Amino acid sequence: MSDEPLLEFREVMRRLRAECPWKAGQTHRSLVRYLVEELHETVDAIETGTPGDLAEELGDLLLQVYFHAAIAEESGTFTLDDVAAGIVAKMRRRNPHVFGDAGAQTSAAEVNELWEQVKATEKSRDDVTDGIAPTLPALLYADKVVDRLGRAGRPAEPGGHGAGDGLGDRLLALVVEAHDAGVDPEQELRDAVRRLLRG
């Protein structure tokens, strides 16, 4: 076992890309399904598993990061070091209360607001949905859109603009209610389904 397992892992991935026919044939696009699967397995380990389960699933998720970096390195687009340097720079920019001159924040809400302000400046958003992946689970997507609308001074009004009282409008109203209460609707629904299955 190496004293520097992250560096060893990078070399393992390079060798697998060179010597394993299946791994050599993968692309960023072909790996999407595995990235999604590993993400959901990690969520499940957090919610229902043991610390060991979580450590294993985080390893599988880390594999996806290293796999994509190895593919990119071969084509000369970016390296694993570029990925790490990019996220270090982003964390420094988006946490000026820790790394800059913004001063200590007094609450998590203030820190979150500062994060959103810095992020909005970086992204130069032209639309409230800029930077929100439309492939997110529907409740999570709705919650993020509701949050962005509120930040833009356009509070969400389910059923407005001539929309009826359909199921979608009622679901959206529940997302707005959850958002206003500071509750994650996606998490709440998963917990409710788990209770249902336990009977």
| Interacting residues of 80 by C-beta distance below 8 A, sequence separation 6+ | 10, 65, 66, 69, 70, 73
Short-list 133, 131, 132, 94, CA closest to 113: 94
The whole-number average pLDDT for the span 133-157 is 87
Q: Which has more confidence, 73 or 96?
A: 73
Q: Are 139 and 189 in contact (CB under 8 A)?
A: yes
What pLDDT, on a 0 to 100 scale, did the predictor assign at position 106?
Answer: 64
CA distance 38 to 97: 33
Q: Which CATH superfamily is domain 5-78 in?
A: MazG-like (1.10.287.1080)
For CATH 1.10.287.1080, list the domain ranges present in the chain: 5-78
What pLDDT, on a 0 to 100 scale, did the predictor assign at position 103?
Answer: 61
pLDDT digits (tens, 9 = 90+) for 25-37: 999 999 999 999 9
Summary mean pLDDT of the chain: 88
Short-list 45, 51, 15, 13, CA closest to 31: 13
Confidence label for 105 from pLDDT (cuts 50, 70 and 90): low
Residue 65 has pLDDT above 70, yes or no: yes
| Interacting residues of 100 by C-beta distance below 8 A, sequence separation 6+ | 92
The whole-number average pLDDT for the span 17-25 is 96
CA distance 74 to 80: 11
